[in-house]
Amino acid sequence: LQELAGNATLLYYMSEEAQEGKTAFNEKRSPDFSKFPRLP
């Protein structure tokens, strides 16, 4: 179960959405997640 959680986290960290969040944090600005649709 722990391995599954680790793999899921790794998949998120490699996504474009996570990259935008990381870049925004480093640039000290608010992230622009509008280009990523929120799916239920």
The number of distinct structural domains making up the chain is 1
* Crossing angle of helices 16-26 and 2-13, rounded to 10°: 70
Does residue 39 belong to any structural domain of this protein? no
Contacts for 21 with CB less than 8 Å, ≥ 6 apart = 31, 33
pLDDT bracket for residue 39 (50, 70, 90): confident
Is residue 17 in some structural domain?
A: yes
Number of residues that make up the chain = 40
The CA-based diameter of the chain, rounded to the nearest angstrom, is 35
Alpha-carbon torsion (9, 15, 16, 17), positive or negative: negative
Q: Look up the pTM and report it.
A: 0.68
Segments forming the whole domain that contains residue 5 = 1-32
Q: What is the pLDDT of residues 1-34, one digit of tens each?
A: 999 999 999 998 889 999 999 999 999 999 999 9
In the numeric block, the tokens 């599954």 are attached to 4
Domain assignment present for 20:
yes
